[in-house]
Amino acid sequence: MKPEAASKRSTQKIQPAKNAKQPQKKIGKAAGRPPRPDCGACGLPMNRRVCFSADGSASRGCPTLTQKTLLAKANREYGKPPVHEFARQASLQEAACYANRHERPYVMQPTKTRLQEIGEFAERMGYRRLGLAFCIGLAGEACRVEEILKNWGFEVVSAVCKAGKTPKSLIGIGDEDQIFQGTDEAMCNPVFQAKLMNEAATQFNILLGLCVGHDSLFFQYAQAPTTVLAVKDRVTGHNPLAAVYLSDTYYKKLIR
Ligand code: SF4
């Protein structure tokens, strides 16, 4: 959403929410401290949400209504030329992922895979050198991704999670907590992966299958902006949403 659009909507009169779990009564200053954002529990149909529709409603915890000062502060960031351009190109790429947008009424026609989206976004930004940080469990996929990116004309710097073969004992992991007990198992080393990318001056990094937490460290240490091609899910063929889709049935065990 463009910053100006966001602030415009935030000033519009809000209709009371009918289906929201907790209808808004006192929101913002009148209620004292704003409630914590809780968009995940909004409960309104998408086209009736104030963040989506100009005459939409909101539920308690709606940041569109209650966090106007913070919103203005966030939106000022887009005044910085690099942030402005990065966000602009990301939005242009987002729209370019849908075909026939001139049709009315418009029914979304997505046409581009995430890999294509990443390649096109990198081209838009004028990046030439990409970093590819991957999990050893997806080494085959990484090889193919690297080939494809090179075929597009990018220079690719790639590093596997086990690069450096640092023993897990460095971080206090004993043999009983290794995957392969009785071996000299190397730790995943996302800090090393990030530093390799930094050293090579990659302009944009792509993560492929790093573990939970290891990906967090990579984000923390990488200097270039980073996106994710795919996340690891050891059970679902790297499709973590499968567990979400089935959380009412076969993955009910997820509900404690
Ligand atoms: S911004 Fe407000 S209306 Fe939009 S999802 Fe969050 S709570 Fe719901």
To test the pocket of ligand 1, the residue of 49, 65, 68, 71 to mutate (highest count of ligand atoms within 8 Å of its CB) is 49
| Ligand 1 pocket, residue 27 CB under 6 Å | no
CA 43 to ligand 1: nearest atom: 8
Q: Tokens representing 239?
A: 């499709």
**What rounded mean pLDDT belongs to the chain?**
90
Report the C-alpha gap between 101 and 89 in whole angstroms. 18
Residue 64 pLDDT > 60: yes
From ligand 1's centre to the CA of 240, what distance in Å? 24
Query: What DSSP line would sit under 61-103, residue for residue?
Result: T-HHHH-HHHHHHHHHGGGSHHHHHHHHHHHHHHHHTBS-TT-
Q: Note the pLDDT of residue 8.
A: 36
The answer to whether 111 touches 120, Cβ cutoff 8 Å, is: no
Whose Cα sits closest to atom 6 in ligand 1? 39
Percent of the chain with pLDDT over 90: 85
Q: Model-level pTM?
A: 0.88
From ligand 1's centre to the CA of 17, what distance in Å? 11
Question: Where does the pLDDT of residue 185 fall: very low under 50, low under 70, confident under 90, or very high at 90 and above?
Answer: very high
Report the C-alpha gap between 105 and 98 in whole angstroms. 14
From ligand 1's centre to the CA of 59, what distance in Å? 7
Q: Note the pLDDT of residue 13.
A: 37
How much is the average pLDDT of 41-50? 95
Query: What DSSP line would sit under 150-205, residue for residue?
Result: HHTT-EEEEEETTTT--BGGGGT--GGGSSSTTS-PBPP-HHHHHHHHHHTT-SEE
From ligand 1's centre to the CA of 63, what distance in Å? 7
| Ligand 1 pocket, residue 39 CB under 6 Å | yes
| Per-residue pLDDT reduced to its tens digit, 223-255 | 999 999 999 999 999 999 999 999 999 999 999
CA 39 to ligand 1: nearest atom: 6
To test the pocket of ligand 1, the residue of 7, 24, 39 to mutate (highest count of ligand atoms within 8 Å of its CB) is 39
Report the C-alpha gap between 16 and 200 in whole angstroms. 54
Report the C-alpha gap between 37 and 25 in whole angstroms. 15
Q: Angle of helix 139-151 relative to helix 114-124, nearest 10 degrees? A: 40
| Per-residue pLDDT reduced to its tens digit, 9-35 | 333 334 444 444 444 444 444 447 889
| Ligand 1 pocket, residue 50 CB under 6 Å | yes
Q: Pairing state of beta strands 204-208 and 129-134?
A: parallel
Whose Cα sits closest to atom 7 in ligand 1? 62
Among 251, 229, 231, 228, which Cα is nearest to 239's? Answer: 231
Whose Cα sits closest to atom 2 in ligand 1? 62
From ligand 1's centre to the CA of 253, what distance in Å? 29
What are the residues whose beta carbons fall under 8 Å from the beta carbon of 25, sequence distance 6 or more?
Answer: 31
Q: Report in angstroms the alpha-carbon separations of 224 from 53, 193, 220, 239.
A: 35, 12, 10, 26
The answer to whether 119 touches 147, Cβ cutoff 8 Å, is: no
What are the residues whose beta carbons fall under 8 Å from the beta carbon of 142, sequence distance 6 or more?
Answer: 132, 134, 158, 160, 208, 209
Pick the CATH number of 128-245 from 1.50.10, 3.30.70, 3.40.1760, 3.40.50: 3.40.50
Report the C-alpha gap between 217 and 192 in whole angstroms. 10
Question: Where does the pLDDT of residue 168 fall: very low under 50, low under 70, confident under 90, or very high at 90 and above?
Answer: very high
| Ligand 1 pocket, residue 59 CB under 6 Å | yes
| Per-residue pLDDT reduced to its tens digit, 125-144 | 999 999 999 999 999 999 99
Residues of the chain with CATH 3.40.50: 128-245
